[in-house]
């Protein structure tokens, strides 16, 4: 009977950790989505894009990446960090692919969230 209780406790802890990680990634992604969309909208409107990019990169470096590093694959975060670090230089040079790089950040964040969601093919 004690073994059953221990097994149930372990399974409950695993489920709780999974739910926590999904919630953490989801909440951080929502904030990142808003910031990236704000950068794109400001770029299209001709506003202070550099200020928005600085806010986005500060959030990514100080809040997003450090908090998710313990939960997600470092490779995915590294790809997103590369995209985030290119934004200011791309904007300053007038690169045509600026919005595409912003979309790459959104795609990376979505990929991170999908990697955390439970799926049957990951169990087998």
Q: What percent of the chain has pLDDT over 70?
A: 98
What is this structure's pTM?
Answer: 0.84
Cα distance between residue 113 and residue 28, in whole Å = 10
The model's pLDDT over 47-63, given as tens digits with 9 standing for 90+, comes to 889 999 999 999 999 99
What number of H helices and E strands is found in the chain?
A: 6, 0
Structure confidence at residue 124 as a pLDDT band (50, 70, 90): low
For residue 47, the SS3 value is coil
């Amino acid at each position: 009977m004690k073994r059953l209780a221990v097994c149930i406790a372990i399974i409950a802890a695993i489920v709780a950790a999974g739910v926590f990680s999904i919630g953490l990634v989801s909440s951080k992604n929502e904030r990142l989505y808003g910031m990236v969309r704000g950068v794109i909208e400001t770029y299209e409107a001709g506003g202070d894009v550099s200020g928005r990019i600085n806010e986005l990169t500060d959030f990514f470096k100080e809040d997003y990446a450090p908090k998710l590093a313990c939960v997600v694959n470092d490779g995915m975060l590294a790809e997103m960090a590369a995209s985030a670090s290119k934004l200011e230089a791309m904007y300053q040079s007038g690169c045509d692919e600026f919005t595409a790089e912003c979309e790459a950040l959104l795609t990376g964040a979505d990929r991170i969230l999908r990697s955390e969601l439970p799926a049957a093919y990951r169990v087998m």
